[in-house]
Amino acid sequence: MVDPATHRQLYGRRAGHKLRTGQAALVEELLPQVAVPETGPLDAMVLFGDDRPLEFEIGFGAGEHLAGQAAMRPDHGFIGCEPFLNGVVGALNHIRDDGLDNVRLHMGNAIEVLDRLPDASLDRLYLLHPDPWPKPRHAKRRMVNDGPLDLIAA
């Protein structure tokens, strides 16, 4: 079985329908402001400029849950990872509309961000609907395998 923590390949679509003008503007203007830095170690100070509890969501879809949690706990920092462009646009809409300044987004593989966080740095991690691939040959796609779980547990 291939472990997604070492294989590091994303599966599925990266984009859906063509973005409308307003959506493309969000990606161009807001995403750079809230994007997780592409290199270097990460912690609350790097991401938010202060020391605060961090929460992490893997595969946030259109960002409804991520935005809801961030709105309930404005003193926490939220990191959301989603490879699907249209989902990122949905989260950007929530960030803009709800005035959320405690959310950072990564459009790509969550393991790339988890690797850069120090051990014991997350207060919560959300992985909603983690394994939609029931067949054994799809095991390489699952986040709920020993490699990713060991990384998350650390």
DSSP state of 35: B
pLDDT at position 150 is: 74
* Angle, helix 85-98 to helix 21-29, in steps of 10 degrees: 80
> Is 115 noted as a catalytic residue in this protein?
no
β-strand partners of 54: 77
> What span, in angstroms and rounded, lies between the C-alpha atoms of 133 and 80?
22
DSSP string, 41-62: ---HHHHHSS---EEEEE--TT
Pair of tokens at residue 60:
């946030």
SS3 for 10?
coil
pLDDT at position 27 is: 92
Tell me which amino acid residue 2 is: V
pLDDT at position 125 is: 93
SS3 for 56?
strand
Q: Which domains does the chain have, with CATH numbers?
A: 17-129+136-153 (3.40.50.150)
> What span, in angstroms and rounded, lies between the C-alpha atoms of 41 and 118?
8
Please pick, among 115, 123, 131, 150, the residue that the annotation labels catalytic: 131
Residues 96 and 26 sit within 8 Å (Cβ to Cβ): yes
Q: Kindly report the backbone phi and psi dihedral angles of residue 16, in degrees, each rounded to the nearest multiple of 5, phi listed first.
A: -115, -125
Please give the average pLDDT of every successive group of 10 residues along the chain, which has 154 residues.
56 65 92 96 97 95 96 98 93 97 95 93 87 66 65 73
Beta strands in the chain (DSSP E): 54-58, 77-81, 103-106, 124-126
pLDDT at position 145 is: 65
pLDDT at position 94 is: 98
